[in-house]
Structure 1
Amino acid sequence: MPVQAPNDEEKRDPVLFAGRVRTLMAEALDIPVTDHTYEDCRLMISAGQLTLPMEAGLVEFTKISRKLKLDWDGIRKHLDEYAAIASSSKGGRIGIEEFAEYLKLPVSDVLRQLFTLFDRNHDGSIDFREYVIGLAVLCNPANTEEIIQVAFKLFDLDEDGYITEDEFSTILQASLGVPDLDVSGLFKEIAQGDSISYEEFKSFALKHPEYARIFTTYLDLQAGYVFSLPEQGQAAPSITSNKVSPENHNGGPSDKKDD
């Protein structure tokens, strides 16, 4: 590779010159150019301390923080969450079993569809970069105060301001399409007593935004069914398998992936 000299513009902007030289070097070596920075090195060290492979911390911090409006503290916090899920897996990546275990839910069609939304390259696992993007793009936008309030009212079938385990079980069985789903473990994690208050529900939802996708999917299907109901005097439509009910196994998220 020939020696490179900066032009007039690059003399005024050394970063511009460095970028051009880097691109030329990558082309000469036939390797890709990445945007790894000092923060990526810090994340690699943190990943190693969390017993993850050090390369798990390589997320191209500058690019991802700019696009997703995340700061260092936010991404570092996500690394702790990711490590807690992936700690039992080989290679430090999240598989469908680890994903289900973390959410305390069975592997179902709905859960597989949610997992696929995170698994952007369709290799059957979620790496840390995919996890961060999934939370920022798929889950956090759906985890608003309004959605949490609507979801709580949905679970509170008798409208007494609390969610019993039976109510909790009924809605989760319907939204996941798993009639015999045992939710006792998840219920006890949220409730401090025999029922779930709104504050307990909200606190859990904010800490676990992954559930927001499941709730919003259920709400969308419920709304779709309501709007499909006939006006007075018209025949009612049959409820097909894509409508949510305890017997339905087919509802699920369907958002396209978007960087």
Structure 2
Amino acid sequence: MPFVGTIIRAVQVIYVNRFSPASEKNARRAACDKFPRVLLFPEGTTTNGKVLMSFQLGAFIPGHPVQPIIVRYPHVPFDQSWGLISLAKLMFRMFTQFHNFKEVEYLPVIMPPNNKIQSPVHFAERTRQAMASALNVVQTSHSYGDLMLLMKAAEVQQGRPWNYMVEMARIESVSRALKLFSLETYLILFVFYEKLDLTLSTLLFQISSLEAVDFLDKFLSMNPDTSGCVKLNDFLRVLRLKACKLSEEIFGFLDVEKNGSITFKQFLFGVAHVMKQPLFMQACELAFAECDLADILRQAIPDLNEDQVNGLFNLFDTDNDGRISRDDFVSCLRKNPLLIALFSPRLLQKDFPKLAGDRMPEEIV
């Protein structure tokens, strides 16, 4: 439809690839500062109107008054709100109805806090609560990151892509309502907890949406079933591990319900929890400096044959140049944080907490 492109150019649309941070920066440079800026749909995406997702903070960070506007689409019989259907099907159904209705309601202006103590997050929450109340819908902790996960799962033709939405707004800043996982089998993580006396309720995962999509790629390579669950064998296959006590304990760390399978949410929580430990990067550096990979693998996983050792070597050799550099090693552990458990015995022998120093984790990071 050539006329669509003509209309888009006429209204001076600036294209943004929401999966690319670089595209967003280019769009900002292309936009003229003289244009007045208006923020629409602060959820960051289009939903079916049955819930209100977490808001993006761009409209709330400046601390100016916000004018909430709610939109309803009364429908008989076809609901024209954009859900999990194609744009072509949506347009066809709308064009074949006699009427399409839309209601727009202006709510009272929400004023920013006077004391400047309230954060943009709380300002956004007050606004969202007022809008949800007027719409008579529930609020959820889903965010645009969940849409990215949904689209990624749908792209690889997963039967139920909604199984991979994890309420990213909650994962991006976990501060409560979580219990401490049992980490006895992860000796290196046990050291973290013994030294720092931390629980999950005091940690912030701070996993970005793009990081979550990368971990979803890893999870999807494990061949989840129709319910979105992964079994032990597929988990071990992707991590190039063989069945043994340690690998089963690694899987058990994620399998909190002890039913022999893990969901993407459990996988994401587990790897995020390990990767965001304050001393994780120092543990990676020390493991590279102090450990011989082949010896460590044979010590951690008994009866490894040469092919299995080579498979793990290739996993760490991220640039495929036949050698494992420091960057290769750290990059592999950032993509596969659970593999740090392979190096825990040697790190404990090296007295890792003392080597890390007596500084607090925030100083180390």
- For the criterion TM > 0.5, the same-fold answer is yes
Q: C-alpha separation between the residues in 2 aligned to 1:54 and 1:47? A: 5
Q: C-alpha separation between the residues in 2 aligned to 1:219 and 1:123? A: 31
Q: Which moved more, 1:110-119 or 1:203-212?
A: 203-212
1:152-174 per-position Cα deviation (integer Å, ceiling 9, x unaligned): 23333xxxxxxxxxxx3322121
How far is 1:199 from its partner? 3.9
Greater helix fraction, Structure 1 or Structure 2 = 1
The one-letter amino acid of 1:15's match is R
Query: Equivalent residues in 2 for 1:185-224 (5 A)?
Result: 185-191=311-317, 192=320, 195-215=323-343, 217-223=344-350
- CA root-mean-square deviation: 3.3
Partner of 1:16: 129
Q: C-alpha separation between the residues in 2 aligned to 1:179 and 1:223? A: 25
Which of 154, 157, 162 pairs up with 1:51?
157
Identity %: 21
Partner of 1:109: 245
Partner of 1:69: 206
Distance 1:91 1:118, change over 3 A: same
How far is 1:121 from its partner? 2.8
SS in 2 for 1:126: strand
Instruction: Indicate conservation of the 8 Å contact 1:100/1:111, yes or no.
Output: yes
How far is 1:109 from its partner? 1.0
How far is 1:101 from its partner? 0.4
1:122-155 per-position Cα deviation (integer Å, ceiling 9, x unaligned): 3322211112111111244377443223212333
Query: Equivalent residues in 2 for 1:82-97 (5 A)?
Result: 82-86=219-223, 89-97=225-233
Distance 1:150 1:15, change over 3 A: closer
Unaligned runs of 5+ in 1: 1-9, 27-32, 157-167, 225-259
Partner of 2:141: 35
Q: Which moved more, 1:92-101 or 1:71-80?
A: 71-80
How far is 1:20 from its partner? 6.5
Q: Which structure carries more relative contact order (alpha carbon 8 Å, separation 6+)?
A: 1
Distance 1:140 1:35, change over 3 A: closer
Instruction: Indicate conservation of the 8 Å contact 1:143/1:206, yes or no.
Output: no
The one-letter amino acid of 2:330's match is K
Q: C-alpha separation between the residues in 2 aligned to 1:70 and 1:185? A: 28
Q: C-alpha separation between the residues in 2 aligned to 1:197 and 1:146? A: 16
Q: C-alpha separation between the residues in 1 aligned to 2:137 and 2:328? A: 55
Instruction: Indicate conservation of the 8 Å contact 1:46/1:57, yes or no.
Output: no
Instruction: Indicate conservation of the 8 Å contact 2:215/2:335, yes or no.
Output: no
Query: Equivalent residues in 2 for 1:219-258 (5 A)?
Result: 219-223=346-350
Distance 1:36 1:204, change over 3 A: closer
1:222-256 per-position Cα deviation (integer Å, ceiling 9, x unaligned): 357xxxxxxxxxxxxxxxxxxxxxxxxxxxxxxxx
Q: C-alpha separation between the residues in 1 aligned to 2:300 and 2:261? A: 24
Which of 250, 258, 266 pairs up with 1:122?
258
Partner of 1:78: 215
How far is 1:17 from its partner? 4.5
Distance 1:139 1:123, change over 3 A: farther
Q: C-alpha separation between the residues in 2 aligned to 1:108 and 1:49? A: 34
Partner of 2:300: 175
How far is 1:97 from its partner? 0.7
Unaligned runs of 5+ in 2: 1-106, 111-125, 175-204, 352-365
